[in-house]
Amino acid sequence: MRRHPSRRPVVVVLLVGLVLLPGACGGPGDDDGPDPSTRSSSVEPEPPRGTGPEASASPAATPEVSVETVVDGLDVPWGLAPLPDGTLLISLRDEARLVVVDPDAGTTTDVTGPGADALAAQTTPDGEGGLLGVARDPGSGDVFVYRTGADDNAVLRGALDGTVLGGLTTVLDGIPRAGHHDGGGLAFGPDGFLYVGTGDAGDGEASQDRASLAGKILRVTTDGDPAPGNPDPGSPVWTFGHRNVQGLGWDASGRMFASEFGQNTWDELNEIEPGGDYGWPDVEGPGLEGQPQAGDGTVAPVAWWPTSDASPSGLAVTDDAVYLAGLRGERLWRVPFGGTASAADEGGDEAGPSPSKDAVDPDGSVRPLGEPQALLAGELGRLRNVAPVEPGGGDADGLWVLTNNTDGRGSPRDGDDRLVRVTFG
């Protein structure tokens, strides 16, 4: 067990970020560096649903936050899963290790046992591949991990007793692997099934191939079988046409969101619809000039950013907002829940004069998304993951955020990488 230096609170002043400016252009997506296939970014899209002036004539004030380092010295942290006792399970991508962080004590303890040994032996770190997503099954209590092996990506499960991981069972394998676009997101939905975000592994056409597990969001039982209610009963595919999905989450109404790395122009926040085609490789963001447009047979994103401003990996949903951890953008994007659903239905000002909180109106109507806000811009460097301090809670409970400056693309600072607690107000 490693004890970390006393935690240092820092008060941060936050700025409202510029999103979807006409003519804005970004460099190559953070998840793959320069892309040999460049696309024109000379496009002036209409603001998407949930962002832009139509949705936020009176945008909510960007909150101030304080940042407290919980632990530091983490080597390329990736996955983040809260445990019932208040500790946090974190995966270290390149070292192929799991650690348990006790936020109250400020300590980091290595996970040991046969499962930890198997992960170290089976995982083959390669670029963006390695030991990636982690999730805890709220039903059985087992831990699920997404690891890159020599031949494929696989989802494995094992029982975690304190900091000892038992033997592993393969839940799902045969997911195409690559040093770029490797996916890795894991999350349990409110329906109790496991959702898996995969990358296209450098083959964009595979994301449109329903027989391939690449470029998809998969929905399976804890044994790896296609979950009941999937669009194709014999397939684990929930949605397709994705480039690289790493963040997954749900609001109180059951509405599902996913973060998506773009190629050279637009990163995306998507609302996930079963069986939906999210357009890749033909559509990026709302669509580029002279190319197919989102919504023309595909599902359009609910928000998008230039790749230089986001490159979103982890995603969290609170009662107040959707959060995306930005790597290349070095900021935490907050997309608040906006005004009433009835105002949106009537085509009025979705935010209204006093933007409301919570994803659901008192009458049960689902609220639209408001104007995105940029938090922590440049304060902590690259951000990999984010999770609510209280699962199912609101902003008042705070957020856990993982930095990612040691991943080979950042500029490590003294003590990087670290887990911090972000407190609002």
Please write the tens of the pLDDT for every residue from 207-245.
Answer: 999 999 999 999 999 999 999 999 999 999 999 999 999
Residue 358: pLDDT band with limits 50, 70, 90: confident
3-state secondary structure of 342: helix
Q: Which two tokens stand for residue 308?
A: 């230089």
- Per-state percent for the chain, helix, strand, coil, to nearest 5: 5, 35, 60
Which range has the worst mean pLDDT, 77-86, 100-109, 336-345? 336-345
**Distance spanning both ends of the chain, measured CA to CA:** 33
The answer to whether residue 75 scores a pLDDT higher than 70 is yes
pLDDT computed for residue 26 by the predictor: 34
What's the chain's Rg over C-alpha atoms?
Answer: 20
Rounded mean pLDDT, 258-274: 96
AA letter at 134: V
pTM of the predicted model, to two decimals? 0.87
pLDDT computed for residue 366 by the predictor: 86
DSSP 61: P
The answer to whether residue 338 scores a pLDDT higher than 50 is yes
Cα angle, residue 218 at apex, residues 297 and 197 outer, rounded to 5°: 90
pLDDT computed for residue 3 by the predictor: 53
pLDDT computed for residue 339 by the predictor: 61
